[in-house]
Amino acid sequence: MGQVHSEILPGRAKQANMADYSRAVSEFRWEDVEKSFSWHESGKVNMAHEAIDRHVLEGRGAATALIYSDSAREEMYTFSDLREQSNRFGNVLRQHGIGRGDRVFIFMPRRPELYFSLLGVLKVGAVAGPLFEAFMETAVKDRLEDSGAVALITTPELLQRVKRAELPELKHVFVVGGPSDGGQGLISYEEAMAAASAELEPEWLSLEDGLIMHYTSGSTGKPKGVYHVQRAMIQHYYTGKIVLDLRPDDIYWCTADPGWVTGTSYGIFAPWLNGVTNVVRGGRFSPQDWYKTIERFGVTVWYSAPTAFRMLMGAGEASLKDIDLSSLRHVLSVGEPLNPEVVRWGDKFYQQRIHDTWWMTETGAQLICNYPGMDIKPGSMGRPLPGIEAAILDDRGNLLPPYAMGNLAIRTPWPSMMGKIWNNEAKYEEYFRIPGWYISGDSAYMDEDGYFWFQGRIDDVINSSGERIGPFEVESKLVEHPAVAEAGVIGKPDVMRGEIIKAFISLRDGYFPTAELKEEIAAFVKAGLSAHAAPREIEFREKLPKTRSGKIMRRVLKAWELHLPAGDLSTIED
Ligand code: PRX
């Protein structure tokens, strides 16, 4: 049973669009949302048309679509500019025979060319696969191989992490900021763009055609390719309106990288489908840079994550001196539990209520949210969107009453629900094992007012700084290190990051448990997978707890870590 929460922060009048939640729920129909799209006269769609070209054709081409800044560049692009850039890149792809259904990956830091090329990929009906810039060799190879990507757009630096010799299906590599090299099979992005026409007829698609793929982690196996279809645009558009509260004059900033789902659904699609100006900040996190970004561009709607808010809070009041954040109208958070202290900090120092939103890579868009105008219970993820039914179920699919903890489940389908797991029908089916429901893997409870409260993951998935990490992927890399005999990985609670990755390791004969070896092993994971997948803590143990079939028991490791009873050990090896 969960506890009863009494604290309620009343909604604010200036964000009143969802104050009457019950009415919105009873009157809602997805068909009404669909009607707001122009659709093409053929009845077919194309995300890049709806997000970009439509605004140009309807006379809003001169409006600013993208404001990009980092420490060296500051650039602005209108919807007409984005139309032209994406048309050119679409033509480049077509010249190489790339089109409908092909998987085209983009491995690049946040910079304007990432957005141009991603839109170009969508224009020709190919499926975009953005990869986070911090991925290292193994992580990149696994994703390109599994997806069967035929083309990649990258930079000279990141190209060094792409093992092309082992990727026979990857036939075309476009390099941004690098020369063409016929011998190496490399095509200069700039040269190809300059030679391409700015006119292009988009590929007209059905709502079930592919849109984008994001790889994400579960507790077993390698990361899986979550494949989204064009239909998701209906929900991106709708949540942009009612949850992000986007209005025509907004300056909107989503801090997520397009390598993660938030950075595409809400860093690309939702703002541009709603025709608003989208701010992209390149480079790394720094409180000063972030506050200056809000101030300089007059950001009105800001979507970020709990770890970032906690770090900003950690930088203290002093970091807000001489900073003017008065342009802000609406602030939102996603990815991990949002602490009530952070909500109170926002109230006090930003004069903004931070609105928590809950969703997942697989769900494609927001499902349970705190809406503008609604009364907020700090610590709660909020209530289901009008049009979405959420519930708490036991393992057999029975509905549980208020305050009972169980599986957070969503009634199927909804527009942005994933279309498939690439190459893995069985994994897809697992989410829908209870007929009529999607099982999220999160545990939660609902209170008597219909607010949902996150309790944890049901599986072993780790959430560190809002990044989702599968223990299996990290363990597989660890055991490739010559010193490591066996490894088990868990999430250890952490005040700043929510959880950190902790690895328990038993060493091979001839290796000794030293601090240097810990560092070396962590660096090995970092170099193979990525910095965010490397364990921040390592503990050497003579032996790890295993089942008789040889599986490492992560729940026992977790119990060790938290000094809790280890529970049922009847299946342990000895
Ligand atoms: O455990 C939940 C947590 O993040 C998971 C989804 O991670 P990912 O697919 O990477 O997507 C993150 C952004 C869409 C969920 O299963 N999570 C997400 N939002 C929240 C959350 N946990 C608590 N509160 C949230 N608001």
| 33-43 tens-digit pLDDT | 988 877 777 88
Q: Is 358's C-beta closer than 6 angstroms to any atom of ligand 1?
A: yes
Q: At residue 374, does pLDDT exceed 90?
A: no
Q: Could you report the per-residue pLDDT of 406-448, keeping only the tens digit for each? A: 999 999 999 999 999 999 999 999 999 999 999 999 999 999 9
Tokens of 53: 């070209």
Report the pLDDT value the prediction gives residue 116, as an integer from 0 to 100: 98
- Six-digit token string for 384: 């289901």
pLDDT at 42: 82
Q: What percent of the chain has pLDDT over 70?
A: 97
Q: What is the pLDDT of residue 1?
A: 40
What span, in angstroms and rounded, lies between the C-alpha atoms of 7 and 379? 10
Residues of the chain with pLDDT > 90: what percent? 88
Q: Is the CB of 337 under 6 A from ligand 1?
A: yes
Going from the Cα of 336 to the center of ligand 1, the distance in angstroms, rounded, reads: 5
Q: Is the CB of 239 under 6 A from ligand 1?
A: no
User: For residue 361, which atom of ligand 1 is closest to its CA?
Assistant: 9
**Which sign does the torsion angle of CA 558, 561, 564, 566 carry?**
positive
In single-letter form, the type of residue at position 79 comes to F
**Residue 455 CB–ligand 1 contact under 6 Å:** no
pLDDT at 343: 94
Task: Tell me what pLDDT residue 12 has.
Answer: 65
Q: What mean pLDDT is predicted for residues 472-483?
A: 95
Pocket perturbation via mutation, ligand 1, pick of 304, 417, 440, 454 by most ligand atoms within 8 A of CB: 454
Could you identify the atom of ligand 1 that is nearest to the CA of residue 338?
24
Sheet holding 277-281, edge to edge: 74-78, 64-69, 277-281, 251-254, 301-304, 330-334, 354-358, 368-369, 383-384
Mutate which of 228, 264, 336, 410 for ligand 1? The one with the most ligand atoms within 8 Å of its CB, which is 336
Q: Please give the pLDDT value at position 2.
A: 43
How far away, in angstroms, is 356 Cα from ligand 1 center?
11
- Band the pLDDT of 56: cuts 50, 70, 90: very high
Name the residue of 310, 334, 408 to mutate for ligand 1: max ligand atoms within 8 A of Cβ: 334
**Bridge partners, 411 (sequence order):** 437
Q: Does the Cβ of 361 fall within 6 Å of ligand 1?
A: yes
ipTM confidence: 0.99
261 Cβ closer than 6 Å to some ligand 1 atom: yes
Q: Is 457 in the pocket of ligand 1 (CB under 6 A)?
A: yes
| Non-local CB neighbours of 46 within 8 Å, separated by 6+ positions | 40, 122, 123, 125, 202, 203, 204, 205, 230
Does 443 sit in the ligand 1 pocket, CB within 6 Å?
no
Containing 539, the helix (H) or strand (E) segment is strand 537-540
Report the phi/psi class of residue 331: left, alpha or beta, with left for phi > 0 and alpha for psi in -120 to 50.
beta
How many angstroms is it from 74 CA to the middle of ligand 1?
Answer: 32
Q: Which two tokens stand for residue 491?
A: 């999430």
Confidence check: pLDDT of 245 > 80: yes
CA 57–ligand 1 middle distance (angstroms): 37
Distance (angstroms) between ligand 1 centre and the Cα of 467 equals 9
